[in-house]
Structure 1
Amino acid sequence: MAAHSGSKTVIYAALAGNFLIAITKFGAAAFTGSSAMLSEGVHSLVDTGNGALLLYGLHRAARPADRTHPLGHGRELYFWSFIVAVLVFALGAGISFYEGIAHIMHPEPVANPMANYIVLGLSMVFEGGTWAVALKEFRKSKGNAGYIEAVRKSKDPSVFTVLLEDSAALLGLVVAFAGILAAQLLDMPVLDGVASVGISLILAATAVFLARESKGLLMGEPALPEIERSVLALVQDDRDIGKANGIITVHIGPNEIVAALSVEFEDRLTAPAIEACVERLERAITRKHPQITSLFVKPQTTGTWKKVRAELAI
């Protein structure tokens, strides 16, 4: 649970902020009749529900291994992250698009645009606060990598999901503000509906990106190359290892890795000596990389390993 304390801080901040913002936006939409504001309210409400789902995913993923799930429940977080992406697309983007088209076909002037401007301004402040919390947490883990690269490499979707949702929310607020202002200045109520469609497109793009990343994690992504290289170096340094052929890893959670090693033991070793060597390797590897929660060592010649790798086209 401690490994996810930063993630939970980000989600709690987003959950509280989005809930308050959603209520305010719905109130403003009911008072002014703005289509863009209604879409923004739906957006914030969906983000609130998504935060709750991510917390649920973290809770489920933290359960220990059992008979039916011998490697643990870490992938539950990846499953719920994928559900979040689906909800952003189906509810957030879908409802916003429908509302925008309806308003374009039957445009109505906004009754009191000043109320919308005030709500949008306050929303930008609140969203900016939760976005800053998510960005700070994400920076801790991204290192020197670029933001897009860091998202693609990240194995913890809870942080980057909130960051991307908050980024989309801020961009949506800008679009809503521009649409309402343009509709007022140009006396073209249809632009309010156009802004709502614009918000739906932002949400759809965010959902597609999140779904793609969550899908990769759910299907199984390998550990970072530097972790694999470090493990192979540890193995190769052992006195009883002739050659460390290679390693196959897969994340079953943000901080849970299953690793399978292919090694060639020295010919002089007896069965008890091989067993002692494997235990020694397990201690050394898990000491340096505690996120490797399951380790399997397979005695294998270099030729056999190369043949297997070729068949897998890895």
Structure 2
Amino acid sequence: MAVHASKTVIYAALLGNTLIAISKYGAAWLTGSAAMLSEAIHSTVDTGNQALLLYGLKRAARPADAEHPLGHGLQLYFWVFVVAVLIFGVGAGLSLYHGIEKVRHPQPIENAYVSYIVLGLAIVFEAAVWVVAFREFRRSQGDFGWVSAMRRSKDPVVFTVLLEDSAAMLGLAAAMAGVFLSQALDLPVLDGVASIIIGLILATTAAFLAYEAQSLLTGEAIAPETRADIRRIAAAESGVAGINEMLTMHFGPREVLVTLSLEFADQISAADVENAVSAIERRIRMAHPEVLRVFVEAQSLLAHRTAALARLPQTADARGRNLVEAPSGTATNQRLR
């Protein structure tokens, strides 16, 4: 997904959440509603999160240098993880705290009409931002379901904003229900219950984001179909006798590293190997522009297996010996993707 599209979604969310947060704090002060205060905290956290995502995009866009020769793309994944921690620690934590306090010490809501007006406006603003994020998300969703598409996506910015706004819409519905039921049933405790529900919604959202961010941060491979196509490109090159191993890793949404260990036919010359390597790199980049770096190692299958065994712990080597003795062409290391 293009960076400018991600920034458009973030700017829309930043503007919307700033306006919403200001109005919610005013409503919380006038009404004394715990649910409204939780929603104000939620919008404040979301506003800060958008600022952090913009900062993450800026940091990730820096060019490679001597200290970071493969670029700074992982910075984006780090800041998404920080966003998840903030949602959980600040948003969910404070909402649960205020909700529990309101359940323990319930107080009637004053000027409830203010809550209805602010919540109604907030729903309109959030819906507008959600539509912007959803349209961008749909462009990369393909035929996959929501959760599957989010888990496959290597650009966390848009689905982070989409999740935040989805949680915000659910939170607004909970706040509206809490205010209405606490008045209609004369049970102020329900306002506190609504705040607890908002906290649980935020905690669930944060847990999902944290899980996805840590997976990206610790090095995810490219999609299986892309790996299969790169294997096909390498295997189709003249002179390639076999693929010993292929490793891939995302350093950013559109920054992929590919390493290949290839066995070449014995009869071809060193110049032919060099030409084949250059052709493989060129064709991989043409087919998959997100692959910025390709490293190809020319190595026999036996040499590759020996090197793989040298990397294994000394205690593991009944299984290692089996790998060495395996017939030519069998899988050499099932741990590697």
Paired residues for 1:55-70 under 5 Å: 55-70=54-69
* Cα distance in 1, alignment partners of residues 336 and 281 from structure 2: 28
2:38 is matched with 39
Contact 2:78–2:213 (8 Å) recurs in 1: yes
Q: Deviations over 1:169-216 (max 9, x none)?
A: 000000001111110011111111111011000000100010000000
* Cα distance in 1, alignment partners of residues 299 and 272 from structure 2: 16
Question: Shift of residue 284 of structure 1?
Answer: 1.3
Structure 2: gaps spanning 5 or more residues:
309-331
2:98 aligned with 1:75, yes or no? no
1:134 is matched with 133
Question: Shift of residue 46 of structure 1?
Answer: 0.2
1:218 is matched with 217
2:320 is matched with none
2:333 is matched with 310
One-letter code aligned to 1:97? L
Determine helix, strand or coil for the equivalent of 1:184.
helix
1:185 is matched with 184
Contact 1:89–1:204 (8 Å) recurs in 2: yes
Determine helix, strand or coil for the equivalent of 2:333.
helix
Question: Shift of residue 91 of structure 1?
Answer: 0.5
Paired residues for 1:281-292 under 5 Å: 281-292=280-291
Question: Shift of residue 304 of structure 1?
Answer: 5.8
Question: Shift of residue 270 of structure 1?
Answer: 2.2
Determine helix, strand or coil for the equivalent of 1:310.
coil
2:198 is matched with 199
2:110 is matched with 111
Contact 2:285–2:291 (8 Å) recurs in 1: yes
One-letter code aligned to 2:292? T
1:25 is matched with 24
* Cα distance in 1, alignment partners of residues 93 and 103 from structure 2: 15
More displaced 10-residue stretch of structure 1: 129-138 or 290-299? 290-299
* Cα distance in 2, alignment partners of residues 313 and 8 from structure 1: 35
Contact 1:232–1:246 (8 Å) recurs in 2: no
1:233 is matched with 232
Q: Deviations over 1:214-245 (max 9, x none)?
A: 00000010001111111111111111212234
More displaced 10-residue stretch of structure 1: 295-304 or 138-147? 295-304
2:53 aligned with 1:54, yes or no? yes
1:89 is matched with 88
* Cα distance in 1, alignment partners of residues 129 and 62 from structure 2: 28
More displaced 10-residue stretch of structure 1: 57-66 or 293-302? 293-302
One-letter code aligned to 1:149? S
* Cα distance in 1, alignment partners of residues 2 and 276 from structure 2: 30
More displaced 10-residue stretch of structure 1: 254-263 or 300-309? 300-309
Question: Shift of residue 142 of structure 1?
Answer: 1.0
* Cα distance in 2, alignment partners of residues 236 and 306 from structure 1: 19
More displaced 10-residue stretch of structure 1: 292-301 or 138-147? 292-301
Structure 1: gaps spanning 5 or more residues:
none
Question: Shift of residue 280 of structure 1?
Answer: 1.6
Q: CA 1:305–1:129 in structure 2 vs 1: closer, same or farther (change >3 Å)? A: farther
Contact 1:19–1:44 (8 Å) recurs in 2: yes
More displaced 10-residue stretch of structure 1: 250-259 or 292-301? 292-301
Determine helix, strand or coil for the equivalent of 1:193.
helix
Determine helix, strand or coil for the equivalent of 2:241.
strand
Q: Deviations over 1:35-92 (max 9, x none)?
A: 1000000000100000010011011001111100000000000000000000000000
Q: CA 1:135–1:304 in structure 2 vs 1: closer, same or farther (change >3 Å)? A: farther
Contact 1:249–1:260 (8 Å) recurs in 2: yes
Q: % of aligned pairs identical?
A: 53
RMSD, aligned CA: 1.5
Question: Shift of residue 311 of structure 1?
Answer: 6.3
* Cα distance in 2, alignment partners of residues 62 and 289 from structure 1: 20
1:167 is matched with 166
Contact 2:13–2:161 (8 Å) recurs in 1: yes
Contact 2:247–2:336 (8 Å) recurs in 1: no
Alignment length (residue pairs) = 313
One-letter code aligned to 1:14? A
Q: Deviations over 1:223-271 (max 9, x none)?
A: 0111111111111111121223442101010001011112111212222
Q: Deviations over 1:266-308 (max 9, x none)?
A: 2122222222221121111112212111111122334565784
Question: Shift of residue 310 of structure 1?
Answer: 2.6
Determine helix, strand or coil for the equivalent of 1:45.
helix
Q: TM-score, normalised by structure 1?
A: 0.96
